[in-house]
A = this chain, B = another copy of it.
Amino acid sequence: MNPSSTSLRVRLPALVLVLEVILLVLYSFFVTYDDNANAKMQNNMTIPMDNSLYRDYPYFADVQVMIFVGFGCLLAFLRFYGFSGMVFNFLTATFSIQWAILVQGYFQFYQDGKIHLGVINLINAEFACAVVLISFGAVLGKTSPVQLLVMAFLEVPFFSVTEWAVLKYIRVNDAGGSIVIHLFACYFGLGVTFVLYRPNLNNGHSKEITSYHSDILSVLGTLFLWVFWPSFNSSLTLKGDDQHRAVLHTFIGLSSSTMTAFALSAVFNKKGKLTMADIQNVTLAGGVTVGASVDMMISPAAAYALGVLGCTACFLGYRYLTPFMAQRLRIQDQCGIHNLHGLTGLISCTAGICAILLATEETYGPSMYEIFAHRSPPEGDPKLLALRQLIPGLKAGLGRSAEEQALYQVAAIFTTIAAAAVGGVVTGFVLKLPCLASPADDDCFDDALFFHMPTDFYTEGQG
């Protein structure tokens, strides 16, 4: 096997076979059903409609559409790379979820020597999958499916460990995943693309263009992401009013972000025309920006303002920061994930910290100690008993003050960014190994490298 070849004939099947054997062995020995999916756990007190399936499945299904259809179409925005964008997304997502079920399961759903599997694990695994797909955006067009599978194989454990450390030890409020998902995914992806730097592509590539149909397909992906983003941001909040607020804030943030994106797109174009790339990406910034405070009582107006702010930062990032990073920092960020997930993620985290500092019992009532669970008094504290009169079953917390919680949020942000960047750089070096079918510079952004193409591809393309 010639290391410089890009034939998938041996490489891809060999890798898939190894991965499938690993997965099948681990599933056989370590994965069982959780109580809600286990026939043996049902008894004469079980009410079938109280099964956790009915709480979790609608959100899972919505996130599925985002992952497979939304991301898939969005990443098909290049004229000669539509097959690859859509189909490599499919492959990478599928593998990432299978793998995350195991790795996240080990950290979060492991009891008595088994990972207990229910739809809630699938939602968590789809979040890990979203992390991989965001990072994929940084290297789109320049990587083989073999490299993408290896990246997913490494990123999922890096992510799961970081997520587990942040949630279990630092203990943060991050319902929409701004820290854990968006910042991690962004800086991991930048780490990978930093190592995979291709100087010849800094002046553009003849195939790095869109077409009328690829632009429409991509905006269709944007619309699916837009429509279901409230489900994404609210799928792991507490149930009830918290989830209700998460839906409202996400919708409002996306809405104001969308209007802003149209305005900025027109004002920065010399002829005063709209650019489809802005509509495809910048409109979504609001969804990320409200993430960290999505379940808090920030007020609808604050969600509105966050959407405008995040969108503006994202837009300016695309315009000024992405070219600067490519030219000066050798970070080629193909889809501009640093704008849509990094800058907006940082704004979101800052807003989350402000919301934490401003949270009072006056605004939240006693349920403040549910939302900010770590501010709940510790076990044995008489205040906990008093609160449990108001909220039966309130969990004991760590008795943190607002300021302490804010500092932990800051710690989590830096920890996540550092872990992600290191993980990304390490992964980047692994992806440079020969035999991973990395495309030559000339063959980037070209479906024909890895796909058997229909005949009209060539006449359309070169004709």
Contacts and interface: CB of A to CB of B under 8 A. Distances in A.
A9 B39 contact: no
Contact of A61 (B20, B227, B272, B460): B227
B245 A37 contact: yes
Contacts of A319: none
A359 to B, nearest CB: 10
A53 B93 CA distance: 29
Contacts of A7: 271-273
Contacts of A255: 94-95, 97-98
Interface string A410-423: 00000000000000
Contacts of A271: 7, 9, 452
Nearest to A270: B9
A202 interface: no
A38 B83 CA distance: 46
Contact of A454 (B212, B230, B308): B212
Given A31-B301, A274-B87, A456-B211, A367 B42 contact: yes
A304 B102 CA distance: 13
Contacts of A42: 240-241, 365, 367
A84 B179 CA distance: 36
A401 interface: no
Contact of A223 (B69, B227, B245): B69
Interface in A193-211: 209-211
Interface residues of A, number: 139
A58 interface: yes
Contacts of A262: 12, 16, 91, 145
- 7 tightest A-B CB contacts, nearest first: A9-B272, A48-B240, A7-B272, A16-B263, A40-B365, A8-B266, A28-B301
Interface of A: 7-13, 16-17, 19-20, 23-24, 27-28, 31-33, 36-44, 46-49, 51-53, 55, 57-58, 61-62, 64-65, 68-69, 72-73, 76, 79, 82-83, 86-87, 90-91, 94-95, 97-98, 117-119, 122, 145, 209-217, 219-220, 223-224, 226-228, 230-231, 238-245, 247-248, 251-252, 254-256, 258-260, 262-264, 266-267, 269-276, 279, 283, 297, 299-301, 304-305, 308, 363-365, 367-368, 371, 389-392, 450-457, 460
5 contacts: A7-B273, A39-B241, A44-B389, A97-B255, A212-B457
